[in-house]
Amino acid sequence: MSYARTTCFSGYCWGLDESQVIVLGAPLEETTSYRPGTRFAPRAIREASAYIEYWSLRGKLDVDEHVRFYDAGDALVEQPLEKALEAIGDAVERLSGVGKPLVVMGGEHTITLGIVEGLVRAGYKPCMVQLDAHMDMRSEYAGRRVSHATFARLVVSEVGVPVVLAGVRGFVREELEFARANHVPVIDAHRLQDESVAAVIPAVSKLIEKSVCNHLHLTLDMDVVDPGFAPGVSNPEPEGITPRILLDIVFEVARLAVLRGMSLSMDVVEVSPPYDAGGVTSVLAAKAIVEFAAGVVAARSSAR
């Protein structure tokens, strides 16, 4: 497989056979419309991951004792955009075939389109949970049909993947009408702050029950978090959720997927290190990946 080698997530370069979770970088940055820098995010998240602790308060376990991360390096993203998305999809198709949870570190949010296309090519029938300040369901943005602001519309309308959308607070009428017309459950930021996990898990459970999906993909745009906690993102929006709510949801979604017998994957996108005061957004992104792994471990432990 063609990957450019980089510093490994968690600080340890485990082999594929001895690992339990796979990590891939996708440093795509082509349609960013406000604050650039997402191409530097995989490197920054990897660096942060080597210095945080791996104890999960939610799972009451040390992820370091249960999970070894195989870092596949970065997908070789090249212009034009379509070629980059194909490369990301090819990497996801190959790595998801190993049968282990996969985490992709972006990059701009457009990478999610390539990821779900790769999952479909690998034979999965995915459902998607989108944590995001924005709907990303415009028909076009800045003259582009495919971009960070349109990818979710394409995931629903062209790839045919059902979606639950949570944390939104920045969108236009066109997007809201599309979501309603396509029966996309939308949990806005106010409700998410008030109800936390209780607002999301029932919607995800219902999505799984209604759909024929056998794979759950969680896409995490770091701008879902309030910029007071996560300033280093491409398109910050006020009134976001707290880190605790974010990590609770990531943990519970991963746990739910395993308990339902589904395969699962996750992406973390839109971190912009040049705007990240103190590197706190990269740290939170790395912690989200750790809690994703903790949810997997907790579910497998309870099923024994």
- Collapse the DSSP code of 24 into the 3-class scheme (helix H, G, I; strand E, B; otherwise coil) and give the result: strand
According to the annotation, is 62 in a ligand binding site?
A: no
Report the percentage of the chain scoring pLDDT > 90: 94
What phi and psi values does residue 65 have, to the nearest 5 degrees?
-80, -15
- Where along the chain do its domains lie? 3-127+214-302
User: Is 223 among the annotated ligand-binding positions?
Assistant: yes
Joined tokens for residue 102: 């996969």
pLDDT at 7: 85
- Give the torsion through C-alpha atoms of 266, 272, 277, 278, to 10 deg: 50
Domain 3-127+214-302 CATH assignment equals 1.20.1730.10: no
Q: Would the pLDDT of 271 be above 80?
A: yes
How many alpha carbons lie under 13 Å from residue 40 in its C-beta half-sphere? 16
Give me the pLDDT at residue 304, please: 62
The residue behind tokens 């990897």 is 46
pLDDT at 4 > cutoff 80? no
The answer to the question of whether 221 is labelled as a binding residue is yes
Output helix, strand, coil percentages for the chain, rounded to the nearest 5: 45, 20, 35
Is 132 annotated as a binding-site member? yes
